[in-house]
Chain A
Amino acid sequence: MDIQIERLSKKYGAQRAVDDISFNVKAGEVLGFLGPNGAGKTTTMKIITTYLRPTAGDVKVGNYSVTENPEKIKKMIGYLPEQNALYEDMPVIDYLKFVAEMQTIIPGKIKDRIFEMVITCGLEGEKHKKIGELSKGYKQRVGLAQAMIHNPEVLILDEPTAGLDPNQIVEIRELIKKIGREKTVILSSHILAEVEATCGRIIIINKGKLVADGTPDELRKHAQGNEMLRVSIEDGDKNEIIQAIQNIETIELVDWSSIKADTIDVQSKTEMSSRRAIFQLCKEKGWVLTEMTPVETKLEDIFHELTMN
């Protein structure tokens, strides 16, 4: 089930929470939604789930529009909200039964689905407890279970791993990846490593505007531009080495590394690689090349660069 977001805007009073955003998500894609607090992630997700109405623009899930056929969309969507508010005085199993009935699952299959969700989300030991008595991590699991109980085509998860311990985070990530092979998943997160680990595609928004869209690799390449190498050479005069490297014509900038002693940061000219030239140089001069590492721009840097202006 594809999702199309078309020139979507949402205003709260005079403030533009979402400002003319467009993108598509295809079935079988896990889309990571990144952005600082208040960037408009949650608002966009709430519009996709039909909870909020857009000020302008439209969202289409499958062939249905959120403004014209919200009822149809609600059936296809599983939603885990950011606050994950649940009825605290209900036992887990009763709550899942309530949600299953609301999602019009055939009465004969309700028991099987609840059982499956209890196993998938690891709620076996807690299923008869009241939701209010559960820890935050278990509440989050109940939230995930209720979102997936009707086997929806589209999953919208607003910070799905918030409050989980590291083991649970790994489990939930695996689960999301598994679901993402067939379904459409949109998830938001502050944790960049998480988005990198689970999402095939990343969208970064800032102040309601879309600032980046691509696979993690594409984003890195885009932000990096020039090749960066960390080089360490032994058996030679330090100044001579620096001088010789500087004379290689594909190289733009050479400097002592600020991070590691006796290593050199080498930046190549745009779209050029200097790795072979450096190796040849060492061979000619009889120096020993002990390290040559490509320095990758981390997703954190991209995020920082795109959202801090």
Chain B
Amino acid sequence: MRHIWIIAKRELQSFFDSLMAYIMLFAFLGFSGFFTWISGSDIFLVGQANLDSFFNIAYWTLFFFIPALTMPLFAEEYRLGTIELLLTKPVNHWQIISGKFLSTLLLIVIALAFTLPYYFTVSGLGNIDHGAVWSGYLGLILMSATYISIGIFASSISKNQIVGFLLALFIGIFFHIIFSILAGSFTGTFGGIFDFLSLATHYDSITRGIIDSKDLIYFLSIISLSLVSTEAVISRKNS
């Protein structure tokens, strides 16, 4: 556990050292703030005391930002060769993967923490459904964790960061939108399967305030599958 934290701390430090963290925070807060308060179907247009417009915009911004954060995690280590020193320290693959996963998730949580003033502001404007807001945040965190795990897997494939970025987006887009489109064009069993695979289905149900074990299992399965695959890729590279 200590090793996971040491690695997470170093990665988090490196996000801030490389300005990546500042750019991400600035862009995320800029986009979500702009579309929540100023333009499009913003809160004043909708006229209801809820954060649905924020959750809708965060659903898309995080989808694009997360691959940019995860793309160097393993690709850079392999490109520079620092992976050799890391793997010859008394840590195992799982501690390294978990540390990197945790560092990115922490950065997302920090970004989301900066949006809490939206919640306090809106709750002053009217009767807000507190449960729905907190479950909305939970949904965003689960979705982020899912894309982080996919991004880490993509980053472990190649030494090239761009490959990691594009591969993460390519895998992600299926869960993000393609499965839900397919679910709409199929009926019966196939429609059901695609509907279950679509991340939007589970995200929507959580942001509505319903925390179902079925949704939790969905997110946790994708996260585990991606991280197990990452471990397999790393083991293979060093065999």
Contacts and interface: CB of A to CB of B under 8 A. Distances in A.
B71 to A, nearest CB: 16
Q: How large is the interface on B (under 10, 10 to 19, 20 to 34, 35 or more residues)?
A: 20 to 34
A53 B239 contact: yes
B90 interface: yes
A102 B88 contact: no
Nearest to A94: B13
B81 A83 contact: yes
B17 A90 contact: yes
Given A52-B238, A87-B14, A81 B91 contact: no
Given A51-B238, A53-B238, A146 B90 contact: no
Nearest to B83: A85
Interface in B51-104: 80-82, 84-85, 87-92
Q: How large is the interface on A (under 10, 10 to 19, 20 to 34, 35 or more residues)?
A: 20 to 34
A51 B77 CA distance: 14
Contacts of A81: 81, 84-85
Given A74-B89, A81-B85, A83-B81, A89 B10 contact: no
B92 A50 contact: no
B6 interface: yes
Given A85-B81, A85-B82, A49 B88 contact: yes
B88 A77 contact: yes
A158 to B, nearest CB: 10
A88 B80 contact: yes
Contact of B10 (A49, A98, A103, A104): A98
A90 B10 CA distance: 9
Interface string A6-43: 00000000000000000000000000000000000000
7 contacts: A74-B89, A77-B88, A87-B82, A98-B10, A101-B2, A102-B3, A102-B90
Interface of B: 2-3, 6-7, 10, 13-14, 17-18, 80-82, 84-85, 87-92, 238-239
Interface of A: 46, 49-53, 71, 74-75, 77, 79, 81, 83, 85-90, 94, 98-99, 101-104, 146
Given A51-B87, A53-B238, 20 more contacts: A46-B84, A51-B88, A51-B238, A52-B238, A81-B81, A81-B85, A83-B81, A83-B84, A85-B81, A85-B82, A85-B85, A86-B85, A88-B80, A94-B13, A101-B2, A102-B7, A102-B90, A103-B89, A103-B90, A104-B2
